[in-house]
With several copies, the nearest count.
Chain A
Amino acid sequence: MSAASTPSPPVPVVALDDVVAVIGRFPALAGASLSVERSEIVLLRGANGAGKTTLLRLCAGLLPVERGVGRVLGFDLATQRTLVRPHVGLLGHQNGLYLDLTVRDNVSFWGDTVGATAAEIDAAMGRMGVADRLADVPTRTLSAGQRRRTSLACLIARRSQVWLLDEPHAGLDADARDELDATLRQAAAAGATILVASHELERAGTLATRTVDVVAGQVRATTPDVANPSTNSEREP
């Protein structure tokens, strides 16, 4: 991961201050404030509809900021959204694959857009276990988890500075989860910043360096080390 090769970004990497984001007429983010530094892995947790996906899409520069100030890598999300995008990688609920193309075609395409070498592309595919038999299978015929793996391989090939992952573990089997976590830790160690939204708190909790609660479109509490739900009835302090 050459994420660290770019000049070190201003601190913090993600800085949201009372940000409001609107979908249709609905304020999916109702004044969220969050600050994330380099090399952090932050877990966003919260009920369904709390605004996790919205927060990630906002950070990716896909949604306009309605009120408040949001910055990613120093770029203002209100005015410089398109400048943010080349530096972030988003894994959304959808995979973003071309279903008629093979796994290799897909990963190559996304790799090529950032000028990745063939070796890097192969490495990304190998990492997510879609290199051998699956490489030349059209993604339309893959199983749900295999598509997710391919999507992750595309993301890895893109070598972003900020990784925004929306339920990355969903649909992956145990091996792929381990591989993914290792990749993320490695990327973070190399200087990337990682936001993960997840409902699998056991899994994502061990991965994250910090956990943040998203409640009703706001970022409520920043609990440094309470990840596992079976034990976290103390969440309401």
Chain B
Amino acid sequence: MSAWRLARLIARKDLRVEVRSRVITNQVLPFAGVTMVIFAFALDADSVLQRVAPGLVWLATMFSLLVLVQRSFAIETDDGALDAMRVAGVDSRAIFFGKALGLAAELIVLEVVLLFAAVILYGQTIEVGSIVLLVTTLIAATCGLAAVGTLYGGLAAGFRGRETLLPLLTLPAVAPVLIGATRAVEAALGTAGAVVSDGWPWVGMLIVFAVAFGVGGSLAFGPLVDE
């Protein structure tokens, strides 16, 4: 069976787990929402909030990413299914793309919700002209985050203390996404006088990042997880 069909199988399985357990819908989304509110609490000087809203959206996304990745691999390790998958001879690239695909689908929903929350909570506005930029940013950033998350999630999954190894590896790696996506969204929302055209170079960076980690991750996943 082709790696690509296997990847789709795995992604579908992950999404089915979500449909059956509703953990993400019922828990991660609210978590992300609460995170945003908490940020707002912690930094309650209003003018500040306006200024940093895009950054906060992506911070909340990143912390939710950690939770999502943990969940995604908890499913696999709870009862030794990851071992079973490896023994089943499922190509490690298929596992990588499958898990990343499932993760990306979940992430993108999350990001859209967060962005809407930001628009409402922090009083941001979205203009029609910037929607293309916004959508491209979301997709590129999501792919990058999903790739990094899957790669390190898989590495950490086999070890004790995985709850803690994962953030240590992931956070520094996704920092570029955080920055790039923040700047791009600032441009899209016109925060602090940014204009839409400022955003595109950042999107370029996000795309490069996503491609690099997508390709690199699929190659690296085998050696990292297989032993």
Binding site for B on A (CB under 8 A): 60-64, 81-82, 85-90, 92-102, 105, 109-110, 112-115, 138, 140, 154, 158
Contact = CB atoms under 8 A, between A and B. Distances in A.
Interface stretch (B15-23, B135-143, B175-183, B193-201): B15-23
A101 B20 contact: yes
A85 B89 contact: yes
B45 interface: no
Contacts of B92: 82
A158 B88 contact: yes
Contacts of B20: 100-102, 105, 138
Contact of B84 (A61, A110, A112): A110
A96 B84 contact: yes
A102 B75 CA distance: 14
The 9 closest A-B pairs by CB, nearest first: A86-B89, A96-B84, A94-B80, A85-B89, A100-B21, A90-B87, A96-B80, A96-B81, A100-B17
Given A96-B80, A97-B79, A61 B87 contact: yes
Nearest to B78: A99
Contact of A98 (B13, B83, B222): B13
Interface in B71-110: 75, 78-81, 83-90, 92
Contact of A62 (B1, B9, B86, B160): B86
B87 A101 contact: no
A94 B88 contact: no
Interface of B: 1, 6, 9, 13, 16-17, 20-21, 75, 78-81, 83-90, 92, 160, 222, 226-227
A98 B87 contact: no
B1 A115 contact: yes
A81 B92 CA distance: 13
B83 A96 contact: yes
A105 B21 CA distance: 13
Contacts of B9: 109, 112-113
B185 to A, nearest CB: 34
A60 to B, nearest CB: 5
B17 A94 contact: no
Nearest to A90: B87
Nearest to B14: A98
A95 B81 CA distance: 7
Nearest to B75: A98
Contacts of A92: 80, 83-84
Contacts of A109: 9, 13
A64 B223 CA distance: 12
B90 A113 contact: yes
Contacts of B81: 96-98
Contacts of B83: 62, 90, 92, 94, 96
A96 B17 contact: no
B19 to A, nearest CB: 9
A61 B1 CA distance: 20
A85 B88 contact: yes
B20 to A, nearest CB: 5
Task: Count chain A CB atoms within 10 A of each CB in B79, B90, B222 and give the residue with the most.
Answer: B79
A60 B87 contact: yes
A14 B152 CA distance: 34
A86 B222 CA distance: 15
Contacts of B78: 99
Task: Count chain A CB atoms within 10 A of each CB in B1, B80, B160 and give the residue with the most.
Answer: B80
B87 A62 contact: yes
A85 B87 contact: yes
Contacts of B79: 94-99
A88 B17 contact: no
B88 A113 contact: yes
B167 to A, nearest CB: 19
